[in-house]
Amino acid sequence: MPTILLVDNEPDILAALSMALEWRGYRVLLSADGKAALDQAGKSMPDLIITDCSMPEMDGVDLCRQLKLYPALAAIPVIMVSAHAQPHRKPALWSAFFLKPVDLDAFESTVALLLSSRPLRETLRPVCSDRAMSRWAPVSSAFIS
């Protein structure tokens, strides 16, 4: 059963998306902010992360940047959800973007697609010479900027 880390500071959004994902048979972990989500991702190694863009402490964009710094977490696909237009991203920090309110059919299809393609992406991920020696040591932040 795939594990999904769901990150949002709005309890109603967490409850609605969690229920939709659990109904599809996924194991769902919840986090209220990006900082806690980064810690939880390191402990639970989810198969997918779904995060809100605007949150206190650490927003979704910063969470994505931090995930890319750790080789063990960098390959986890991320879906960004926001009430506002997609923020400019360079390089690609997330795999998919949805505006709120989320179209659940398209959302669930994207979740299934990202989860089914993850093993292939792991195999084909390019090896970068700037990577850290350890899976848990962060890479240079210049690599992500």
Residue-range domain boundaries for the chain: 3-143
State the pTM of this model: 0.80
In CATH, the architecture of 3-143 is 3-Layer(aba) Sandwich (3.40)
Q: Which stretches within 24-103 are classed as H helix?
A: 34-44, 60-69, 71-74
At residue 91, the pLDDT reads: 65
CA distance readout (Å), 108 to 21, 37, 65, 141: 8, 21, 24, 33
User: How do residues 83-130 score in pLDDT, each as one tens digit?
Assistant: 887 777 666 799 999 998 999 999 999 999 999 986 644 444 444 444
